[in-house]
Amino acid sequence: ESLLAANNTELAKSLRVASTKLLAAGHKDAAISGLTTAFALLRRAGRVNAVATIRAADGGVADVLPNSATRGDILELSAELVAAATAMRDAGLASRAVEAAREGLTSIPNTNHLAPDARATATMLRVHALQLLGAASADQHDVEAARAYLDRANALLPQAKAELDPKDYVRLQSQSVELGTTLLELL
């Protein structure tokens, strides 16, 4: 299952990169088709990884954990879902971006069970996914949802500051400020 999930994730990544280039070249319909296919592959990879996670579990039902290799696969999947959501938003697909970002957010492994470098990556992904959800909600003029996502992202910034390189933290902080400004303009 893990190998199948990894193959789907790699294929989705290639499709996402190609679709982003198509979008930049003005081929929006082809880009949207590629992104939609990439998202479907990532969804399938997520379902496969969920099966692998349960099968690899060595604890009780309350603490079902994948082995370390599967955790790495899931973190990569989360990163691709968030990247796909970003590309979907750039393509003008705000509702699909919300969907992809939500899946990315819920797929991020519990940071308590990750090595320090992976924990930092997971925290950065979690903040970025919440900011992206806020921005995509703002695109749809859902200010209340956007504000809730921004508040959740901002609540994680102290943890991000402790775990991330300063430049990565500053980028996340700037994104929160930019989203906050956008929301003020929508009020």
- Where residue 70 falls among pLDDT bands split at 50, 70, 90? low
Residue 56 pLDDT > 60: no
Q: Which of 14-28, 43-57, 152-166, 169-183 has the lowest mean pLDDT?
A: 43-57
**CA dist., res. 104 & res. 122, Å (int):** 11
Alpha-carbon span 1 to 158, nearest angstrom = 36
Q: What is d(CA 151, CA 145) in angstroms, rounded to the nearest whole number?
A: 10
Task: Write down the pLDDT at residue 65.
Answer: 43
Does the structure show a pLDDT above 90 at 180? yes
What would the two tokens of residue 122 be?
């997971």
* Tokens at 143, concatenated: 């200010």
Query: At residue 66, does pLDDT exceed 50?
Result: no
Mean confidence (pLDDT) of the chain: 84
List of residues 6+ apart from 187 with CB closer than 8 A = 143
Q: Which residues contact 35 (CB under 8 A, 6 or more apart)?
A: 15, 16, 19, 84, 87, 88, 91, 93, 96
CA-CA distance, 154 to 106, in Å (whole number)?
18
Q: Are 142 and 149 in contact (CB under 8 A)?
A: no
CA distances from 160 to 37, 70, 86, 109 (A): 32, 24, 20, 16
CA 66 remoteness from chain centre: 19
Convert the pLDDT of each residue in 118-131 to its tens digit: 889 999 999 999 99
State pLDDT tens for residues 128-155: 999 999 999 999 999 999 999 999 999 9
pTM: predicted TM-score of the whole model, two decimal places: 0.80
- The top-scoring range by mean pLDDT among 33-37, 73-77, 102-106, 139-143 is 139-143
pLDDT of residue 112: 72
